[in-house]
Amino acid sequence: MSVADVVAGALILTGVALSVTAGLGLHRFPDVFARMHAATKPATLGLVLVLAGAALRMEQRGDVAKLLLVVALQFLTAPVGAHMVGRAAYRSGTELSAATSCDELARDDAAGLHGREEASRENG
Amino acid sequence: MTVVTTVALAGVVVAGLLCLLRLVRGPSLADRIVALDALLIVIVSGIAVDAARTGKGTYLEVLVVAALLGFVGTVNVARFIERRGA
């Protein structure tokens, strides 16, 4: 068992541990936004750790390139996807958890700072 | 390495089951997308762990396709929710 194998094992186990905590968070947290907070952690860091661990174990160099491609795609798409889901959830009136202490977006909407007409135009 | 990958695969299974539980229970459509997105990440991690176990890159193309399709699916359902409401 070489040094690379030990490092790969540690990286993989850390990444998988992040995935498990995300699953726990999805299960335990009270509303959509708290669950997104838990679920988006392994989407970048956890996946990068697991893929880095796998890259250390690959026999061919082309396989490492494929893993790098997955990491690059994930880093580009994960924030966009999470942003769109969060915006859609808020605008469709998903209820917030009872423990929410401050909803600044609702306050600014009430003060007319965000322009509801723009939102309704987009919704067509 | 076999022990490490076995433990890792067990963790992947636990994480996938927890995501699946949230996917079934909802309650809103946004919860289900978040859970499905997380489940896809867990599946990609599982395939990567299996690749690390064997050292062969046979299934790595699947990872690229799954990552892209997951993004397209998430964006489409998010747009759908925004038009229709949860």
Q: What is the ipTM of this complex?
A: 0.86
What is each CA distance from A58 to A50, B40, B67, in whole angstroms? 13, 22, 20
pLDDT of residue B85: 62
pLDDT (mean) for B8-34: 89
Query: Which structure tokens are listed for A87?
Result: 């915006």
Query: Which structure tokens are listed for B30?
Result: 């946004």
Could you say which of A8, A74, A80 has the minimum Cβ distance to residue B52?
Answer: A8
CATH code for the domain defined by B2-84:
1.10.287
Say how far apart CA A88 and CA B36 lie, in whole Å: 16
Q: Is the pLDDT of residue A122 over 60?
A: no
Among B24, B66, B30, which Cα is nearest to B45's? B66
Say how far apart CA A73 and CA A119 lie, in whole Å: 29
Element (H, E) at A115: none
With CB atoms and an 8 Å threshold, state whether B74 touches A85: yes
All residues of chain A having their beta carbon less than 8 Å from the beta carbon of residue B8 are 12-13, 16, 50
pLDDT (mean) for B71-77: 90
pLDDT (mean) for B57-75: 88
From the CB of residue A112, how many other CB atoms can be counted at a distance below 10 Å?
9
pLDDT (mean) for A47-61: 88
pLDDT (mean) for A119-123: 51
pLDDT of residue A48: 92
Q: Is the pLDDT of residue B74 over 80?
A: yes
All residues of chain B having their beta carbon less than 8 Å from the beta carbon of residue A65 are none
pLDDT of residue A124: 44
pLDDT of residue A97: 77
**What is this structure's pTM?**
0.84
